[in-house]
Amino acid sequence: MNEPRGLIAIINAAWAWVIAYVQRSGQDLWIGWNEFWFTPRRSTWLGVLRIAAGCMALYTHAVWTIDFDAFLGPNRMIGPEIAPQMNPTNWHWTHFDLFESPTILWSLHWVALGSFAAFTIGLGMPWTGWLAAAFAISYAHRATGALFGLDQMNVALVTYLTLGGAGRSWSVDQWWRNRRESSNTRQVATADFSVWSNIGTRLIQLQLCVIYWFAGTGKLQGVTWWNGEALWGAFASYQYQSIDMTWLHEYRYLLDLGTHLTIVWEIGYVFLVWSHRTRPVVIGMAVLVHAGIAVFLGMMTFGTIMIIANLAFVEWTGLFSEDESDRS
């Protein structure tokens, strides 16, 4: 008669332990989720990233001015008859579809460049930031056939930095605000910690994790990434070659090693970048890879924008003193 009672007691104790474990795990998960997203973060470093990303967005959209009509005008090379075949997805909004007048389109182009310039220097934020994000999306939707990763990263960085309140630091808005406030109020305002700054930073970080994960897993479907020939294929292509690297064919082991390290880095990025111990290696590898793409493969703008985005993982809270943030 004692055996069933003892078994029931064991079952009850085990069940109570399971319930307590689930409750503790749920509480830890909830606390971790809140700390990850809603821990206030200083906006100073986001202000620096805003300047860098804004310069890239301004430059890459200003380049359209060279041959605006051929790429974006009413009679562009890839018109409405061909564009849906190249991008067979649902309709995407763009302000270019609302106007046919070249004069209006050119006028809006200068307005767009003005919004990117205002975003860069932090003037009229966050409204100029949202306007710049809308223009970046609109240009990306119009530029079928000339669209690549640089344009998507422009959209992502401008959007997330605006959402994160990047205009609160290293900006004309902050300079003007500090001029109007008293010295005591200004001293308090320099300690600019914000939940939105953390959310904007986290969104950039997660965007990079998604990009690298799908880039790495997508490469695994190609034979050349398994046999080590992919890196050689890039260096040997005259379409992308800016510096002659064909001499590497004599060092096959370096090409194989570089190919496989790229795969390991891209797939491992999402797992290793969150640890402070492995993060310097992962971000350092990102800088090397994208600097190599910029210098050797001629994709200077794409390589630069990806390096800027990876800097969202760098903790620079000790770089700027209160006095320096006050002067920004």
What are the tens digits of pLDDT across the range 261-288?
A: 999 999 999 999 999 999 999 999 999 9
Cα distances from 211 to residues 143, 206, 221, 294, 312, in angstroms, run: 21, 9, 16, 18, 15
> In whole angstroms, what separates CA 42 from the centre of its chain?
19
| SS3 state of residue 223 | helix
Q: Which helix (H) or strand (E) holds 250?
A: none
If you ran DSSP here, which 8-state letter would residue 67 be given? Answer: G
Report the percentage of the chain scoring pLDDT > 90: 47
Q: Which helix (H) or strand (E) holds 292?
A: helix 279-296
The pLDDT, as a whole number, for residue 327 is 36
Mean pLDDT of 134-154: 88
In the structure, what pLDDT confidence band is assigned to residue 87 with cuts at 50, 70 and 90?
Answer: low
The pLDDT, as a whole number, for residue 304 is 95
Tell whether the model's pLDDT for residue 71 goes beyond 90: no
In the structure, what pLDDT confidence band is assigned to residue 184 with cuts at 50, 70 and 90?
Answer: low
d(CA 304, CA 150): 9
Q: Which helix (H) or strand (E) holds 219?
A: helix 195-219
Higher pLDDT, 194 or 244: 194
Strand partners, 19: none
